């Protein structure tokens, strides 16, 4: 287990394979946040050790049981990391073009969520509701590109199953709500839908886990068990709820752009003639903006021919010919008082929110206390 408490990273249950760790009575400690720990997920440390990583700073409001459930969730990601399967293969870039604000898709998802919730609520006679849920899923999938269908199904086994074991530990069902689920991003939805599908598939017997590991999606396993209703019955109330959800999603995106533009504090911009590669980002906290740029709301790592940048806990907007090829970066909301250094022709900045290593001659300071980098 790898836990960052806000000041120190703690490793237990394994021997570190790199310099920098200090042994103590309860394991090993690393000053500050270990560079490999960027989110709550499975973390591969130098030397190949895979650990359940937790950023505990900020989780103080979770009770012991909820925190233990989170550890169960992340431990399942460790299982996934050491047991390769087509079930875990999801292309995160496909989520960026998923038609979240398409009304037909949002309405069908709202209907599906309501029927999944109804099926979960009834230990007996749940099959009719499950058939309706699958029928609405078929309607929705008819309006999606194949890569979006594939992404959703894979994310239901990647994150949906992790959420499934988490809420099984808590003896709970996923919290499904037609109106709210209509406007959720696909990754967020897949946590709940995947857990719901796993609960229903598990009701019909054993052996389904082997089929999942072979790459069969959860919805297809459920369809093989109960089939699907031929003609789903729509609800006018859910259509209106979906319409409101779509409008709210559009408004939220506009508000986030406005918020980014108005963030106080220094800013850093990068203009690159040769695209830099986005070698790390947080899929839960990246949004596609109307102009084709991406808003990274928590974490981003860029690597280029002449340097590297890492943003942690700040917001950044990237532009480029492709999502992972960046020619322009703007980081906003940086704390005041950051002090870069000049060493051997390199401009370096080391802080919790921003780390940079670029050529000194490429960097200039603006009149707002920020920096412009042109490479």
Residue 58 scores a pLDDT above 80: no
The token pair at 59 is 């989780």
Alpha-carbon gap, residue 73 to 319, rounded angstroms: 34
pLDDT averaged over every residue in the chain:
93
Mean pLDDT (whole number) for 50-62: 84
Burial pattern 270-288, b for ≥16 Cβ within 10 A else e, equals: bebeebbbbeebbbbebbb
Beta-carbon contacts of residue 331 (< 8 Å; ≥ 6 apart): 267, 268, 269, 311, 314, 315, 316, 354
Under the banding of pLDDT at 50, 70 and 90, the label for residue 150 is very high
Alpha-carbon gap, residue 337 to 320, rounded angstroms: 30
Q: Where are the alpha helices (DSSP H) in the chain?
A: 64-82, 103-121, 127-141, 146-170, 178-182, 186-202, 208-213, 218-226, 236-262
Residue 16 scores a pLDDT above 80: yes
pLDDT value for 268: 96
Alpha-carbon gap, residue 347 to 226, rounded angstroms: 62
The token pair at 354 is 């921003």
Mean pLDDT (whole number) for 39-46: 89
Under the banding of pLDDT at 50, 70 and 90, the label for residue 116 is very high
More confident residue, 61 or 133: 133
Q: What are the backbone dihedrals phi and psi of residue 34, each rounded to the nearest 5 degrees, phi first?
A: -65, 135
> For the chain, how big is the Rg over CA atoms in Å?
23
Per-residue pLDDT tens over the stretch 175-230: 999 989 999 999 999 999 999 999 999 998 789 999 999 999 999 999 999 988 88
Q: What percent of the chain has pLDDT over 90?
A: 77
pLDDT value for 5: 87
Least confident of 38-47, 129-138, 294-303: 38-47
pLDDT value for 120: 98
Q: Is 364 exposed, middle or buried (0-12, 13-18, 19+ CB in 10 A)?
A: exposed
The highest-confidence range among 132-136, 251-255, 311-315, by mean pLDDT, is 132-136
Mean pLDDT (whole number) for 135-147: 97
Distances (CA, A) of 124 to 105, 117, 128, 199, 358: 30, 14, 10, 13, 63
Under the banding of pLDDT at 50, 70 and 90, the label for residue 57 is confident
Does the predicted TM-score (pTM) go above 0.75?
yes
Mean pLDDT (whole number) for 357-362: 94
Residue 115 scores a pLDDT above 90: yes
Mean pLDDT (whole number) for 225-240: 89
- Name the residue with tokens 């942690």: 312
Burial pattern 21-57, b for ≥16 Cβ within 10 A else e, equals: beeeeebbbbeebbebbbbbbbbebeeebbbbbbbbe
Residue 241 scores a pLDDT above 80: yes
Domain ranges within the chain, ordered by starting residue: 2-83, 88-226, 266-374
Distances (CA, A) of 214 to 76, 84, 209, 218, 352: 17, 10, 9, 11, 41
| 3-state SS record for 169-190 | HHCCCCCCCHHHHHCCCHHHHH
Alpha-carbon gap, residue 330 to 190, rounded angstroms: 30
């Amino acid at each position: 287990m790898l836990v960052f408490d806000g000041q120190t990273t703690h490793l237990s249950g394994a021997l570190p394979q790199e310099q920098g760790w200090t042994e103590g009575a309860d394991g090993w400690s690393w000053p500050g946040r270990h560079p490999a720990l960027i989110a709550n997920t499975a973390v591969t440390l130098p030397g190949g050790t895979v650990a359940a990583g937790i950023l505990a700073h900020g989780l103080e409001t979770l009770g012991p049981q909820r925190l233990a459930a989170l550890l169960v969730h992340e431990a399942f990601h460790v299982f996934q990391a050491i047991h390769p399967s087509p079930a875990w293969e999801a292309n995160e870039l496909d989520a960026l073009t998923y038609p979240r604000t398409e009304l037909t898709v949002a309405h069908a998802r709202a209907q599906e969520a309501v029927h999944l919730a109804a099926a979960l609520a009834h230990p007996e006679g749940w099959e009719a509701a499950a058939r309706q849920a699958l029928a609405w899923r078929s309607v929705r999938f008819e309006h999606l590109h194949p890569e979006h269908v594939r992404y959703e199904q894979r994310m239901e086994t990647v994150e949906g199953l992790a959420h499934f074991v988490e809420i099984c530990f808590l003896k709970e069902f996923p919290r499904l709500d037609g109106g709210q689920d209509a406007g959720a991003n696909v990754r967020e939805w897949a946590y709940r839908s995947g857990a719901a599908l796993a609960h229903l598939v598990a009701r019909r017997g054993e052996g389904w886990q082997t089929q999942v590991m072979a790459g069969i999606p959860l919805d297809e396993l459920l369809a093989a068990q109960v089939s699907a209703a031929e003609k789903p019955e729509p609800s006018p109330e859910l259509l209106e709820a979906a319409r409101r959800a779509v409008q709210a999603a559009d408004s939220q995106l506009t508000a986030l752009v406005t918020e980014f533009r108005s963030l106080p504090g220094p800013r850093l911009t990068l203009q690159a003639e040769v695209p830099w590669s986005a070698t790390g980002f947080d899929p839960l906290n990246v949004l596609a903006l109307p102009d084709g740029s991406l808003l990274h709301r928590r974490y981003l790592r860029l690597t280029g021919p002449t340097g590297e940048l890492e943003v942690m806990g700040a917001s950044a907007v990237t532009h480029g010919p492709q999502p992972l090829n960046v020619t322009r970066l703007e980081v906003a909301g940086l704390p005041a008082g950051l002090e870069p250094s000049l060493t051997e022709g390199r401009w370096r900045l080391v802080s919790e929110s921003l780390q940079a290593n670029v050529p000194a001659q490429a960097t200039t300071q603006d009149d707002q206390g920020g920096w412009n980098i042109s490479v």
